[in-house]
Structure 1
Amino acid sequence: MTEPRKCPVVPFDHNSPGHSADPVASYARLRAEAPVAWTEAHGGYWVLSDYDAVFAAARDDAVFSSGRSPYGGEGLANTIPKAPVRLHIPVELDLPEHRSYRKILNPVTSPAAVAELQPMIERWTTWFVDQVIETGECDFAGVIGVPAVVTLDWLGLDVGDWRRYSRALHSVLADSPGSPAHTHAVEVDIPWMEGQITVAIAARRAQPRDDLISYLLAQDVDGTPISDDAAYSMVELLISGGVGTTASLVSQTLVHLSRHPDQRRQLLEDPDLLARAVEEFLRAFSPTQALARTVTQDTEFRGCPMKRGDRVLLAWSSANRDPGQFEDAEDVVLTRWPNRHTAFGMGIHRCAGAHVGRAIAKELIGQVIRRMPDYVVDEAGLQTYPHQGVNAGFQRIPATFTPGPRLGADR
Structure 2
Amino acid sequence: MAWTEAHGGYWVLSDYASVFEAARDDELFTSRRLPEYGGDGLSVTIPKAQTSFHIPIELDPPEFRPYRKVVNKVTAPAAVAKLDAVIKKYVTAFIDEIIESGDADLAFVAGVPAAVTIDWLGLDASEYKLYVDAMHTLVSAPPGSPEYLHAQDVAVPWVTQTVKAHIAERRKNPTDDATSAFIEADLDGRKLTDEEIYSILELIISGGVGTTASLVTSALVWLYQNPTERQRLIADPSMVDIAVEEFLRVFSPTQALARTITRDAEFQGCPVRKGDRALLGWGSANRDPNQFENPDDVDITRWPNRHMAFGVGVHRCAGSHLGKAMAREMIRQILERMPDYEVDMDRVVAYPDQGTNAGYHSIPVTFTPGQRRGELLFAGKARD
TM-score normalised by L of structure 2: 0.95
3-state secondary structure, aligned to 1:313 = strand
Partner of 1:255: 221
Q: Specify the code of the residue in structure 2 equivalent to 1:330.
A: D
Partners of 1:144 and 1:162 in 2: CA distance: 10
Partners of 1:258 and 1:118 in 2: CA distance: 27
Q: Which moved more, 1:258-267 or 1:153-162?
A: 153-162
Q: Is contact 2:110–2:209 with CA below 8 Å preserved after alignment?
A: no
Post-superposition CA distance 1:80-121 (Å, at most 9, x none)? 111122111111110011110111111221111111000000
The residue correspondences of 1:11-30 to structure 2 (distance < 5 A) are none
Q: Is contact 1:382–1:397 with CA below 8 Å preserved after alignment?
A: yes
Task: Give unmatched runs, 5+ long, in structure 1.
Answer: 1-35
The residue correspondences of 1:9-408 to structure 2 (distance < 5 A) are 36-70=1-35, 71-175=37-141, 181-408=147-374
Q: Is contact 2:31–2:60 with CA below 8 Å preserved after alignment?
A: yes
Q: Is contact 2:282–2:309 with CA below 8 Å preserved after alignment?
A: yes
Alpha carbons of structure 1 residues 88 and 55: separation in structure 2 relative to 1, 3 Å: same
Partners of 1:95 and 1:107 in 2: CA distance: 18
3-state secondary structure, aligned to 2:3 = strand
3-state secondary structure, aligned to 1:208 = coil
Report the alpha carbon displacement of residue 409 of structure 1 after superposing the two structures with TM. 2.5
Partner of 2:381: none
Alpha carbons of structure 1 residues 39 and 237: separation in structure 2 relative to 1, 3 Å: same
Q: Is contact 1:174–1:390 with CA below 8 Å preserved after alignment?
A: no
Partners of 2:138 and 2:224 in 1: CA distance: 29
Partners of 1:171 and 1:374 in 2: CA distance: 28
Report the alpha carbon displacement of residue 298 of structure 1 after superposing the two structures with TM. 1.0
Alpha carbons of structure 1 residues 318 and 387: separation in structure 2 relative to 1, 3 Å: same
Q: Specify the code of the residue in structure 2 equivalent to 1:190.
A: V
Partners of 1:251 and 1:53 in 2: CA distance: 29
Partners of 1:144 and 1:191 in 2: CA distance: 20
Report the alpha carbon displacement of residue 170 of structure 1 after superposing the two structures with TM. 2.6
Partners of 2:15 and 2:340 in 1: CA distance: 37
Report the alpha carbon displacement of residue 269 of structure 1 after superposing the two structures with TM. 1.0
Task: Give unmatched runs, 5+ long, in structure 2.
Answer: 378-384
Post-superposition CA distance 1:266-315 (Å, at most 9, x none)? 01111111101110010011000100011111111111111111111001
Q: Specify the code of the residue in structure 2 equivalent to 1:325.
A: Q
Q: Is contact 1:84–1:186 with CA below 8 Å preserved after alignment?
A: no
Q: Specify the code of the residue in structure 1 equivalent to 2:236.
A: D
Partners of 2:171 and 2:280 in 1: CA distance: 38
3-state secondary structure, aligned to 2:317 = coil
Report the alpha carbon displacement of residue 175 of structure 1 after superposing the two structures with TM. 4.5
TM-score normalised by L of structure 1: 0.89
Report the alpha carbon displacement of residue 189 of structure 1 after superposing the two structures with TM. 2.7
Share of identical aligned residues, percent?
Answer: 57
Report the alpha carbon displacement of residue 177 of structure 1 after superposing the two structures with TM. 5.0
Partners of 2:62 and 2:154 in 1: CA distance: 35
3-state secondary structure, aligned to 2:83 = helix
Post-superposition CA distance 1:186-208 (Å, at most 9, x none)? 44332222111111111111111
Post-superposition CA distance 1:213-263 (Å, at most 9, x none)? 111111121111111111001000110111100000000000000000101
Q: Is contact 1:283–1:343 with CA below 8 Å preserved after alignment?
A: yes
Partners of 1:58 and 1:109 in 2: CA distance: 21
Report the alpha carbon displacement of residue 179 of structure 1 after superposing the two structures with TM. 5.3
3-state secondary structure, aligned to 2:2 = strand
Q: Is contact 1:144–1:364 with CA below 8 Å preserved after alignment?
A: no
Alpha carbons of structure 1 residues 403 and 180: separation in structure 2 relative to 1, 3 Å: closer
Q: Is contact 2:256–2:356 with CA below 8 Å preserved after alignment?
A: yes
Q: Specify the code of the residue in structure 1 equivalent to 2:133.
A: R
Q: Which moved more, 1:180-189 or 1:237-246?
A: 180-189
Q: Is contact 1:292–1:311 with CA below 8 Å preserved after alignment?
A: yes
Alpha carbons of structure 1 residues 410 and 168: separation in structure 2 relative to 1, 3 Å: closer
Partners of 1:146 and 1:264 in 2: CA distance: 21
Partners of 2:265 and 2:144 in 1: CA distance: 36
Aligned residues: 376
**What root-mean-square deviation, in Å, do the aligned CA atoms of Structure 1 and Structure 2 show?**
1.3
